Every structure is written in structure tokens, then in C-alpha cells.
Amino acid sequence: MASENAETAAKAMERAVNQFGGQEDAEYIVQHLCSMHRTLNQAFVSRIILPFVRQMAMRYNTGCCDARNESACKACFLMWEALKAEYGIEDGADFSLPMV
């Protein structure tokens, strides 16, 4: 079970993404996340972004997408394939970026 903080953060992100015409908010979120401490940047990409990309790639690979998210799943599949090649990731292996 996710912690209360994780659930709150996930629901807040869902609300932010669900706002039509919310490009300004999206840009603010991106800028804020990119301005976090560099160790937090690394952790965010390693713990949130890469697992999201990996899971969406798996959905594309197994046909668990439809016309509404096929392009997103395909983009993640292409990113994941590039990441696997760059970092030598084996299928099914746990992977995270190194922390300094």
C-alpha cells in the first residue's frame, strides 16, 4: 500500500495532467522539477520517470494500449529500447541510475 504522501502526490499529478489547456501549469511543474537539487533530479528520474517509461513500454510491447494512449506507449517503448542499449539493461532486470 502506498503511503499517504505518495497517494496525495499521485492524485495531484493526475489532477494537473487532467486540466485542459493547462500548458502553463505543466511548464511550471517541469521547471520546478528541473530546478530541484541535483540529487533529487537523479532520484526523480530513477524512481519515477524510468519506471513509468518502462511500464508504458511493456504495455506497448504486450498490446495493452489502445488508440487513446498508443502513441504514448510507443514513445516510451522507443525510449526504453534506447535506454536498454545505452545502459546495457537486460529484460526483466532491476535498473536505476547510480546515486552519488
pLDDT of res. 95 = 80
Collapsing DSSP states into helix, strand and coil, what is residue 49? helix
Domain limits for position 25: 1-35
Helices (H), the chain: 4-18, 23-34, 38-44, 50-62, 70-87
The whole-angstrom separation of Cα 20 and Cα 84 is 34
pLDDT-above-90 percentage for the chain: 66
80 and 49 co-located in one domain: yes
**Whether residue 85 sits in one domain with residue 54:** yes
- The model's pLDDT over 20-48, given as tens digits with 9 standing for 90+, comes to 667 888 888 899 999 999 999 999 999 99
Residues 49 and 86 in one domain: yes
Instruction: Tell me the average pLDDT across 1-17.
Output: 89
Cut 0.85: pTM above it = yes
Say yes or no to pLDDT of 15 above 90: no
Domains in the chain, number: 2
The pLDDT of residue 33 is 94
